[in-house]
Amino acid sequence: MSTESTLWQRSRQAAYAEITSVAMRLFLDQGFERTTIDQIASTAGISRRSFFRYFGTKEDIVLGDLASQGERMRDALEKVPLTVGPWEALRQALHAVDALEFDPGVTLKIATMMYGTPSLRSRSIEKHLHWQSLLVPDIRRRLGLADDDASDPAPAAIVASSIACLDAAGELWVTGGGVGDLAALYDRAVAAVRLRA
């Protein structure tokens, strides 16, 4: 990689981080719905057109990392030995990407905003569906199914259930004011699904 492209990449990452920081301050101060893209661009000192070079939607500012987190989770899942069962492997992968770690304070405010804003919730579900497409192939192999065997719904059902358990645990954590251990809530949600399945 040339020095010029490295410099460009660092500049782009710095701009991305700055826009994200400005937008999150506005979201937390005045609410997600009341904050406009034009206001974010103006406060960040960029044009509306420049904003769209970094983000496709306002929701992507809050949830943009979810897509890359799905790819990191797939990579983490593939590092778990195939001898580990699907549920435990998914749990290890969630831990590896810190998806089961929430810190009080700002994280609670962001999570509260996400669970309380329909457009953010909808976008979150869309990104979790992307996670599912990334994780199902590994779970299929863990269940001893051929890579091209699309007749068994178990891999997709297990991944979708795991993601739903994460979502349920996150919402409960937010409702409880950020008190408690998200990983423990996730484990309880998974246990409930598996016990009553």
84 & 156 share domain: yes
Which residue range forms the structural domain that includes residue 37? 3-54
98 & 166 share domain: yes
Mean pLDDT, rounded, for 75-103: 89
pLDDT at position 11: 80
12 & 78 share domain: no
Q: What is the CATH number of the domain that holds 153?
A: 1.10.357.10
45 & 64 share domain: no
131 & 49 share domain: no
70 & 24 share domain: no
Among 49-53, 58-62, 110-114, the range with the most confident prediction by mean pLDDT is 49-53
Q: What is the CATH number of the domain that holds 25?
A: 1.10.10.60
Quote the mean pLDDT of the chain: 87
50 & 143 share domain: no
176 & 89 share domain: yes
* Res. 1 pLDDT band, cuts 50 70 90: low
68 & 150 share domain: yes
- Please name which of 161, 131, 144 lies closest in space to residue 82, comparing C-alpha atoms: 144
78 & 43 share domain: no
pLDDT at position 15: 85
Q: Tell me how many domains the chain contains.
A: 2
* Res. 74 pLDDT band, cuts 50 70 90: very high
Mean pLDDT, rounded, for 131-160: 92
